[in-house]
């Protein structure tokens, strides 16, 4: 291991997965320092990670390394005006968005004939939109869910 240049092995690690990098860091302290390098973790962050950090609410996210930034972004965080949540999927690095139902433009969303807002009991007064009627069976259905970890409303399109 001592014969292989530090940056060469770090470059090789960047072509593996986040799980492989973490596992390989257990081999030795030398490999751990390579596995923890910013050069490795930069490859796992989305290309627009700086723009993502600027959209966080609150906007400051202090991290001492790219690995720490990756770990923090894997947990859902509010973005923009706080009505959306963002996280990075740990194994693929893909960006995941959780949208508030109030942020969506829903067909007939203001019609009580098709939709209604139901209050959710809890520390914060919020409401959940419920689909009362699906007019066309070949259209997508909006499903509103309450996220367990982030305690935020989310919407999935089926």
Identify whether 79 is part of a domain.
Answer: no
- Asked whether residue 65 is assigned to any structural domain, the reply reads no
Q: Which of 2-11, 37-46, 90-99 is most confident?
A: 37-46
**Is residue 114 one of the residues assigned to a domain?**
yes
- The verdict on residue 119 lying in a domain is yes
- At 46-93, the pLDDT tens digits run 999 999 999 898 877 889 999 999 999 999 999 988 878 899 999 888
Residue 58 within a domain: no
Asked whether residue 151 is assigned to any structural domain, the reply reads yes
**Number of compact structural domains in the chain:** 2
Residue 121 lies in a domain: yes
Range of the domain at 142: 101-157
Look up the pTM and report it: 0.66
pLDDT digit string, tens, across residues 106-158 = 677 677 776 666 766 665 555 554 544 444 444 444 444 444 444 444 444 44
Residues in the chain, total: 158
* 27: its two tokens: 């081999």
Query: CA nearest 151: which of 133, 116, 130, 126?
Result: 126
Please report which confidence band the pLDDT of residue 1 belongs to, taking 50, 70 and 90 as the band edges.
low
Instruction: Identify whether 90 is part of a domain.
Output: no
């Amino acid at each position: 291991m001592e014969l292989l240049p530090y940056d060469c092995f770090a470059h090789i690690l960047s072509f593996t997965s986040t799980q492989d990098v973490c596992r390989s860091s257990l081999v030795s302290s030398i490999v751990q320092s390579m596995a923890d390098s910013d050069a490795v973790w930069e490859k796992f962050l989305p290309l627009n990670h700086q723009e993502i950090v600027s959209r966080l609410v609150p906007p400051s996210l202090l991290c001492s390394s790219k690995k720490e930034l990756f770990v923090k972004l894997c947990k859902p965080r509010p973005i923009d005006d706080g009505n959306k949540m963002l996280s990075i999927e740990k194994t693929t690095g893909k960006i995941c968005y959780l949208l508030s139902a109030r942020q969506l433009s829903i067909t007939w969303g203001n019609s009580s004939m098709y939709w209604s807002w139901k209050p959710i009991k809890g520390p914060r007064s919020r409401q959940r939109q419920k689909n009362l009627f699906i007019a066309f069976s070949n259209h997508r259905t909006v499903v509103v869910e309450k996220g367990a970890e982030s305690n935020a409303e989310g919407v999935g399109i089926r």
